[in-house]
Amino acid sequence: MEKQLTHFDEKGNTRMVNVGGKDETLRIAIARGHISARPETLRLIAEQGMKKGDVLEVARLAGIMAAKRTGELIPLCHPLALTSIRVELAISDDMPQVEIEAEVQTVGRTGVEMEALTAVSVAALTVYDMCKAVDREMVIGEVRLIQKTGGKSGTFTRDTKDTVSGADT
């Protein structure tokens, strides 16, 4: 069975998907990404030596705020009443990077994948913003959905080993 794009009607016009007939279920999504930086930059982050403040805590808060506003940022996303948002940032022991993970939950008629991906993306952008004065070569990378549960389509789990944050999926 060929999957169809849901944000277009039969005439090809953009639309917001009607989720009114769907059942409300617990929806959970986990996304991960990272921002690579020079070792000196990571040391400053770890020692809270950036002039703008505690980089990881500000980025965590930015990620939480972004998840809550995803419906305003992505044109065809439904605004959702989120029940839980967790954003974690950690300096990698293995790579010169900050690893980022977001988990978002709701009880509703549509999933929270975009909210989790937005949280990771904005957290990474915040790290960049707070550190750009000392390292303009930082690179945001590998923002991806790791898992989603709930809804008619069921569970999705990325089928490759994912070692960001040391966890296998």
Catalytic residue among 129, 159, 162, 168: 129
Nearest to 150 by CA among 88, 66, 80, 86: 80
| CB-based contact 46:136 (threshold 8 Å) | no
Q: Which residues pair with 10 in a beta bridge?
A: none
d(C-alpha 72, C-alpha 86), whole Å: 20
Residue at token pair 């009443």: 81
93 is catalytic: no
Residues with a known catalytic role:
129
